[in-house]
Structure 1
Amino acid sequence: MTGPTSRRTVLAAAIAAGVTAAAPPALAAARPAGDSPADDSSAATDEATEEAPVDYRSWTGYPDWLTGEAQGTRAVADPRPGIVIGRATGSTDYTDPHTRATATWETATWTSPPHTPPHPASELVASWNADTPAGTWIQTELGGTYTDGTATPWYVLGRWAAGDGDIRRTSVDDQSDGRSSVWTDTFSIDDTATGLRLASYRLRLTLHRRPGTQLTPTVWRIGAMASDIPDRFTVPASVPGEGRGCELPVPRYSQEIHKGQYPEYDNGGEAWCSPTSSEMVIEYWGRRPTAQQLAWVDPSYVAPQVDHAARHTYDYQYQGCGNWTFNAAYAATYRDLNAVITRLHSLNDVERLIRAGIPVITSQSFLADELDGAGYGTSGHLMCVVGFTEDGDVIANDPASADDAAVRHVYKRSQFETIWLRSKRYNADGQIRGGTGGVCYLYWPLRPSPAQTRVLGELGIR
């Protein structure tokens, strides 16, 4: 399932067959410190970084919120730094396109300072972490400057609320100036062959609340991954490194056992790879919905938290649960979890995260004969990398499995790396389609361990 533009990166789609944790849960079969084999993975990663630049920039600490331009918002330091509505400076009548209901909302805004990535970008994906109590919601926008000095429009990247009682969370399609476009969760340059790129950008947050109340959303993090991944059908294989023999105890959930449940959310469980993968990692970090939150789910359903995740990641415009940004936003609604969307350069980056105790949710697309052992082909699918074998092959919790017991898979390293990192591929009809170029979801606790902080920092994430 892809968006209607050739540069649209692949979203999660239906399968074509059908506690504040300061440290991670214990690693299974982890190597002793310093027992990693000698290899040239660092050099390979440096080369990949240069060839396919990725820059993640966020505003998340209290000093960050004091920068930029605030119109009615104010920064709060405790218990988690963020911005809130200090005083309403505007109002808007919003007609929800999915319910046709019109309501008036008070607003306040915060706009980041301009950020210039080290390399101009052909794509950008934003992500945010926020709390939106009933009666509130947020809108996120992008405004940028092209490499020729001209400006982009202000593009809406999402209208979002954790629940669905006030507005229907939604992306906004058909935004374009003829040079760049936004489809679902991704800003992209329409024709990269022209050499045009995004040189700098700002992110703008508009916080909404019911008039006459003191309600407010709280935004803890806003950031974006800007990248320029070249057109590539193959990628160089990485050398197995420090992740060999490490496997994280991530819960295993199948999307397939939810077939037919709540078809109003992307046709039921068969298409729920993204929220199912998100739920696995949320629970790995010791968080999960309460019994009260799950009360709406049919009590006869097994693993009702997967149904809950699907409902609360559902994008009413995309009509699916595979909006990358909305999955990260959902994960961050749980107590003291950070969540971002970024790109990584190789499985060596994933190994470093696994060794530090951080699972990685990856997005990929492939034909049935391109990934041995999967047993299906897909135009877009999310799964969770939880470890590596002693030989360096990938251990993945693949939600496209018959039941929870069958979720653990071992996939060949070279095959997995190719289908995940490539930006171009051929479909079953021999037509050229897009690949994700290494997109992943990363979720980790507010107070990570020193090892986690170090590895995230080395990957440009704080």
Structure 2
Amino acid sequence: MRRLTPASLEGPRRGARIVAPRLTPAPVPVTAVADVTYGRPVRPLLRTSRNSLATLLTCALGVTLAVSSVPAAQAGQSAQAARKKAETTQVRHTSFDLAADFARGSRSGAVVSGDAVRLRYPKATRKLGTTTYDVGTWTSPWVDEKFAFTELIPSWQAKTPGRSLVEVQVRLRTKSGTRTTTGSWDTVARWTKDNTFFKRTSLAAQGDDLARVAVDTVKANSSAGATGWQVKVVLMRRKGAPARPQVTRVGAMTSKVVARTTTSKPGKVVGTVIDVPRYSQMTHRGHHPEWGNGGEAWCSPTSTAMVLEHYGANPAAGHAFKSGHADAVVDWTAMQTYDHGYRGTGNWAFNAAHAGSHLRRTYVTRLADLRAAEPFIKAGTPLIVSVAFAKGGLRGAPISSTAGHLMVLVGFTAKGDVVVNDPAASSNAGVRRTYDRAQFEKAWLTKSGGLTYVYED
């Protein structure tokens, strides 16, 4: 059950109020976060709603008006607007998750069944290692962006029963005048929920033409970026087996990140704190060397475990994973998110895919600033965010510095400072922290560009 508690119970900052999630979509904030779908607006998902994920989410850092309030033609004609656009981070998120969305793609050996693509009549086989698999594919239509992006992060939700898996491939293209250059397909991941028969893994760089793969991120080889992309899902099962793997959502976030130099002003969600259970990654130091050895390496699965526990979505098997061990669900989540290619639990897409096996909607994106996070907090949706900071860069943090660390954003104090569950604390009791708004926003936006896991129930 989702619970909201007063900030007076959550740390040194007091005076927050309880705000229950409303049963109507939250409005688009005036920090230029606009959700534009194929004709349908999308807001943070509430538990009583079912919104399509064929979403194009656009956000530009530093803009002060909602995108929908500025005519596109006017913006395109303004040289000043063009310069401003080049100086701000641009993000666009596209997902396919309804039957109508999947119908827009092409298929081979797969069918659209309900709001999913399933392996049904495989027409090809393929060998991985010593195992031969039946194969079907679904390929998205081309998605052309209105800006040149330098990074793309795919995410997906899938079911892989029995001896089956899904492979996610991406290719980019560039357009310049009448000339179009199309890159080769790069494999980002081979993923399965159960590691018994196949070890989920990311792949090597494959940096042969327009792009290269860096674990969970596709990076354009040219600083000029790319203008369009496609995603392909390869559905595989052991040859002759009855398993029917399926994908219920697949998409990608494209971005061009520019460092932010200003701090957003608090909005109307100040004083709202979501009561998310607290787990420390450090109490698991030395656990399971085969999955990263716990401790400092487990910030991502620990954060994922906290949010799933908040929704009551961690299964009994996770809690019973290690008999007699406190918070065994953290160890279990590390196993479920471990990337055998990267050799770690911090693969962003793998964490979202694991959560997506237990929740309605999960994806990886970037947000413009803390104002862009407010609709999620208002809707009762905690966010997992990636931060990096030098020594002294985040006062009150349990670690002095980090090149990359994940924590759960759970709300705001009455003054607009940030309330988090920081798994780097030495014990569960110290996980709830309050950080200065300006310092936190700098730590979140400067390196990761506002990287965020969104898990919605």
Q: Same fold by TM-score, threshold 0.5 exceeded?
A: yes
Partner residue of 2:118? 84
Unaligned runs of 5+ in 1: 1-20, 35-40, 96-101, 423-434, 446-462
SS at match of 2:300: helix
Partner residue of 2:452? 440
The alignment status of 1:383 with 2:397, answered yes or no, reads: no
- 1:127 to 1:346, Cα distance in 2 relative to 1, 3 A: same
1:173, distance to aligned residue in structure 2 (A)? 1.6
Give 1:394's match in structure 2, choosing from 418, 422, 427. 418
Contact 1:27 1:248 in 2 (8 A): yes
What CA distance in whole angstroms lies between the structure 2 residues aligned with 1:348 and 1:73? 41
1:360-379 residue pairs with structure 2 within 5 A? 360-376=383-399, 377-379=401-403
The alignment status of 1:419 with 2:443, answered yes or no, reads: yes
Give 1:42's match in structure 2, choosing from 19, 30, 54. 30
What CA distance in whole angstroms lies between the structure 1 residues aligned with 2:398 and 2:240? 56
What CA distance in whole angstroms lies between the structure 2 residues aligned with 1:320 and 1:444? 24
Structure number with higher relative contact order (C-alpha < 8 Å, ≥ 6 residues apart): 1
1:94, distance to aligned residue in structure 2 (A)? 0.2
Partner residue of 1:299? 323
Partner residue of 1:155? 186
Contact 1:275 1:321 in 2 (8 A): yes
Partner residue of 2:300? 274
1:73, distance to aligned residue in structure 2 (A)? 0.6
Partner residue of 2:102? 65
What CA distance in whole angstroms lies between the structure 2 residues aligned with 1:85 and 1:58? 20
Unaligned runs of 5+ in 2: 7-16, 23-28, 34-59, 64-84
SS at match of 2:376: helix
SS at match of 1:276: helix
What CA distance in whole angstroms lies between the structure 2 residues aligned with 1:134 and 1:43? 45
What CA distance in whole angstroms lies between the structure 2 residues aligned with 1:146 and 1:177? 15
Contact 1:332 1:339 in 2 (8 A): yes
The alignment status of 1:217 with 2:245, answered yes or no, reads: yes
Report the aligned-residue RMSD. Answer: 2.0
- 1:301 to 1:216, Cα distance in 2 relative to 1, 3 A: same
Partner residue of 2:362? 339
The alignment status of 1:265 with 2:291, answered yes or no, reads: yes
1:137-148 residue pairs with structure 2 within 5 A? 137-148=165-176
Partner residue of 2:157? 129
What CA distance in whole angstroms lies between the structure 1 residues aligned with 2:231 and 2:222? 23
Contact 1:179 1:191 in 2 (8 A): yes
SS at match of 1:242: coil
1:269, distance to aligned residue in structure 2 (A)? 3.0
TM-score w.r.t. structure 2 length? 0.81
What CA distance in whole angstroms lies between the structure 2 residues aligned with 1:44 and 1:236? 15
SS at match of 1:416: helix
Contact 1:247 1:386 in 2 (8 A): yes
Partner residue of 2:127? 93
Identity of aligned pairs, percent? 35
- The number of aligned residues is 389
TM-score w.r.t. structure 1 length? 0.81
Partner residue of 2:282? 256
